Amino acid sequence: MINKIDHIGVAVESIERALDFYKNKLRIDCTDTEYIESQMVRVAFLPLGDSEIELLEATDDNSAIKKFIDKKGQGIHHIAFRVDNLEEEIERLKGLGMVFINEKPSYGAGGAKIAFLHPKTTGGVLVELCEREV
């Protein structure tokens, strides 16, 4: 079951530069940053209400974020939906013909179990499903 928007991922060239807008102008605090080696990104967490903005900065030229910015420029990269049970949701959506980038869950920011639906099957939005302990 999908519960809520867990986070919105925003691709940025530099977290520090992006924070000038989010932190100094919008006054949304950044609570933490994390390097996620498997995804080749550095993530800044900006919790807001029941959800959060995640700023994503590439740490490698092969990062999906680098490729995205090179092609489209900075901007909204993905929407992540919180699910109760990721494996069940993957099986359910596969049964409906949806295509996953990774059918086996991997691990993302904050230790969340994650899987991405390919934007070709979602109407152009990169969708992440995300299961967390808390």
Q: Of 90, 109, 117, 129, which one interacts with ligand CMX (CB under 6 A)? A: 109
From 12-20, 21-29, 45-53, 65-73, span contacting ligand CMX (CB under 6 A) = 65-73
Query: What tokens does 63 get?
Result: 């990062």
**Cα–Cα distances in Å, from 90 out to 15, 76, 98, 130?**
31, 23, 9, 11
Q: How far is the CB of 13 from ligand CMX (least distance, A)?
A: 15
Chain-centroid distance of CA 59 in Å reads: 15
| 46 lines the binding site for ligand CMX (CB under 6 A) | no
Taking the C-alpha atoms of residue 16 and residue 124, their distance in angstroms, rounded to an integer, is 28
Residues at the interface with ligand CMX (CB under 6 A): 9, 36, 39, 41, 56, 64-65, 67-68, 71, 77-78, 101, 108-109, 116, 118-119, 124-126
